[in-house]
Amino acid sequence: MKIKHLALSLCLLAFLPSFSQKKNSPPFGKGLFNLVGKDSSYTMKIGTRMQFLTISTWDKLDNDGFKDPQQNFSIRRARLKFDGFAYSPKLKYKIEFGLSNRDLSGGSQYTSNSPRYILDGVLMWNFYGNFEFWMGQTKLPGNIERVISSANLQQVDRSLLNSRFTIDRDQGFQLRHKFKLVNKFIVKEKLAISQGDGRNMTTGNLGGLEHTARLELFPFGDFSAYSGGDQKREKSPKLMLAATYDFNQDAVKTRSNQGSFMLNDIGFFETDIRTVFIDAMFKFKGFSFMGEYAYRDAEDPIAKDSDGTLTGDIVQVGSGLNLQTGYLFKSNWELSGRYTNIELNENITGNNPENQYTLGLSKYLVGHKLKIQSDISYLTELGKADELMWRLQVDIHF
């Protein structure tokens, strides 16, 4: 199997030199190639990106300060992307593959024990007016931080709120619509019905269906809300206010469609899980602010066998708050700060509140397409040693 994957990659690389000699190759950051059919019946933009990450952590073991340093070097993400339209500009598509070890992780018997190469595989059909119908695997309309691409983050990576509560990607359908309410006031509605088990599942639908609804309000007009920081230095204040409600019926994972499977003596433990997100994004003249609140509850958060015996699996119920702000100087240096609080239900999960404070510094050479980012975080959790974490990451996107 690995030989086949290697052969496919070599075949793809064999074609690159012929394409790279084209005089109309796009500028840096706009994709490797922009292909257009001879009859203009299709387009395809091919792009790639990588993130190189270094992490160092220290634990506060006693009153003498931080000790026990740990280091990690990794290719955090390595992606290959294709997007464009087919037959008509109203029928768009996106395909994205994840090739780093962390991109491929999470394989199980329910994904045919295979690496999870596919991140996105979705068709987007603008069938009428401002209505779009989506079909395939892609991100659900969840919290803003998750929908912002990892390529366009303001800090090295997403917050603890996202890692605990995100609903991430799934397979199914989405209906999206937008309209102008008054003057510049724009409203966007997003609905999704998905399998509820996460991405790259090959073993049917293990629980019930997942239903997601999101409403976004842009009172001062549309803007790049789904991009970290104010790269465009908005000349007038821009604001997005949004809320998401997600209902995963008969969910079989500890974090709705994420986390680990809850197995019991008859197969799966199933419970209804509800997740709510409320978030905002504000940008003006280089200043940006993002706020997120998340809440998750479950009908029965403690997994059991058929006789009532506890299995040890627990749904991660509770709430989270994430506040993040930054200022982009004219020199394209950006200073940012973040505060995150996680409070899982202690009576159920046994977890204590977590608080993380992060200070970030970024240098944008070509916007988000080529940048160097570093941040330092201080994590406190009652009953555990405090942790200090420093990260350095370089992003390059073609």
Cα distances from 13 to residues 7, 18, 75, in angstroms, run 10, 10, 20
Q: Which residues of the chain have pLDDT under 70?
A: 1-24, 349-351
Q: How many angstroms separate the CA atoms of 360 and 375, rounded?
A: 4
Q: How many angstroms separate the CA atoms of 279 and 320, rounded?
A: 12
Which are the contacts of 260, defined by CB distance < 8 A and separation ≥ 6?
253, 254, 313
Closest C-alpha among 5, 111, 28 to residue 366: 28
Residue 48 exposed, middle or buried by CB count within 10 Å (0-12, 13-18, 19+):
middle
CATH placement of domain 26-397: 2.40.160.10
Q: Residue 246: count other Cβ atoms within 10 Å of its Cβ.
A: 26
Residue 10's pLDDT is what?
44
- Helix/strand/coil percent split, the chain, to 5: 10, 55, 30
Residue 9's pLDDT is what?
53
Residue 4's pLDDT is what?
52
Closest C-alpha among 76, 35, 72 to residue 57: 72
Residue 62's pLDDT is what?
74
Residue 45's pLDDT is what?
93
Contact of 213 with 243, CB cutoff 8 Å? no
DSSP string, 240-258: EEEEEEEEEEEE-EEEBTE
Residue 283's pLDDT is what?
98
Domain boundaries, the chain: 26-397
